[in-house]
Structure 1
Amino acid sequence: MKKLFVIICLLLAAGCGAGNNEYNAVAFGDSNTRGANYPIRDYPENEKWVNLLNLSQQGKVTIYNAGIGGETTEDARKRLEKDVLNRHPETVFIMFGTNDAVVLQSGEPRVEKKRFEANLLYFIDEIRKNGGHPVLITCLPIVEGNGKDKLYYSRYEKIYYDAGKGARNWHNSYNDIVREIAKREQLPLIDHWRNMVRAAGGDTDSDLIASGLIDPSGNHMTPKGARILYQAILDSGLLK
């Protein structure tokens, strides 16, 4: 019976459980919303933060997972209507930035900061016009890596982030845009970055690696990291 209950809840999280294509909430983001690393790392599906919320809020709230791995805010603009607005959610959790901030060989980020800000404001405006309430979420702290533990720098060249004083600092500068928008637009903010740093006891590579919150990629949550986001949303009272 317990296994059947989990399967039913996961179907709800995948979008099979709400009638008329309507959901109480939508989680709109990239791989850290989708939990795209879970099959790769053999993590339990029911430990994704969206699934944890669906399981804990069973019978009260249904959340659709509209996360897609590798996406930037620029990519997400193209599917806002289909994946978010057409589902008529009361609440939309927005968590982007990890892919937007990636610096290419040209020395330019995938999405420039001004465009990143414009895209977030576009999401907010369209969601509000649709009768929904946007909630902004900052991205997790990058574990850069060095020596044998390359982590983030095993896939992205360190030299491209030197001007931004390292990948972690550069990524957090995109989070600063999210924080400023939340303040300016008077929106709820779940500062996942700060929550993870607090839980890790610091923002250094060694702190973050020892915490077990971030997987070997350096930019994806483990189930332990996902539970911090789940708990922060639960504690916020935003789903009541």
Structure 2
Amino acid sequence: MKKILTAFTLLIILASFTTFQKPERIIFFGDSITQAGVNPKGYISVLRDLVKSKGLENKYELVGAGIGGNKVYDLYLRLEDDVLSKNPSTVVIWVGVNDVWHKRSHGTGTDADKFEKFYNAIIKKLKEKNIKVLLCTPAAIGEKTDYSNELDGDLNKYAAIIRQIAASNNCQLIDLRKAFLDYNLVNNKNNEEKGILTTDRVHLNDAGNKLVAEEMYKHLIK
């Protein structure tokens, strides 16, 4: 009888552990694209719906931490308050567009060597807390498929830097630059500069949010 009661008690404990186990907290860390990602049709919300459709909504908690205009240095400065203090298990970093774009639009931006330095510093601080880190390449500053967008050269350079950072730090890479280019080669037959995946060459429309959510899902959800 005691053995039966003991086994029954263990089952109750195991069931309680399963029921009350905390979900995996995933923080999406970035700029205005990520800030908009929490909107009803934003990529974080679309990803949350995908997770729910698979019956996994209790397993994952998706948190947006995007601020418009942010560059890699801004992310470094707010890492403690906006990410580390929330104790995530996983962080998805998506930054780089403003580091390139603002060189032309605002006369600022981030030089490549400084971009790499601060990006690595962010990863180091996250890994010190045993946080899993995934890196995203910047997707687009213009959607033309013939590489005639004004900033294609710089954007490709910074995407290559992020690929190298991911490899050297043993981080998963979500190559949104490649995903956007591949999608536009198929769906942008008129070589439009916007309107396929973006509203304004940079920020996502519904199709862009869907594509990003699907790419995120492939790498994040098990």
Structure 2 length as normaliser, TM-score?
0.77
Deviation for aligned residue 1:32? 1.1
Report what 1:48 is aligned to: 42
Counterpart residue type for residue 54 of structure 1: R
Report what 1:156 is aligned to: none
Deviation for aligned residue 1:239? 3.0
Is 1:239 the counterpart of 2:221? The answer is: yes
| Higher alpha-carbon deviation: 22-31 or 122-131 | 22-31
Identical amino acids, percent of aligned pairs: 25
Report what 1:81 is aligned to: 80
Match of 1:170 among 144, 154, 169: 154
Deviation for aligned residue 1:189? 0.3
| Higher alpha-carbon deviation: 107-116 or 75-84 | 107-116
> Structure 2, unaligned stretches of length 5 or more?
1-22, 52-56
Counterpart residue type for residue 117 of structure 1: E
Structure 1 length as normaliser, TM-score?
0.71
Separation of aligned partners in 1, 2:186 and 2:162:
21
Separation of aligned partners in 2, 1:223 and 1:107:
27
Change (3 A) 1:211 1:91: same
Change (3 A) 1:89 1:221: same
Counterpart residue type for residue 84 of structure 1: V
Separation of aligned partners in 2, 1:124 and 1:52:
26
Separation of aligned partners in 2, 1:130 and 1:208:
44
Deviation for aligned residue 1:203? 10
Report what 1:14 is aligned to: none
Q: How many residues align?
A: 192
Report what 2:213 is aligned to: 230
RMSD: 2.9
Asked if the contact 2:142–2:201 (Cα under 8 Å) also holds between the matched residues in 1, the reply is: yes
Counterpart residue type for residue 173 of structure 1: K
Which secondary structure state, in structure 1, belongs to the residue aligned with residue 75 of structure 2?
helix
Which secondary structure state, in structure 2, belongs to the residue aligned with residue 47 of structure 1?
coil
Q: Which runs of 4+ in 1 moved over 4 A?
A: 105-109, 202-206, 208-211
Which secondary structure state, in structure 2, belongs to the residue aligned with residue 62 of structure 1?
strand
Separation of aligned partners in 2, 1:208 and 1:187:
33
Report what 2:196 is aligned to: 212
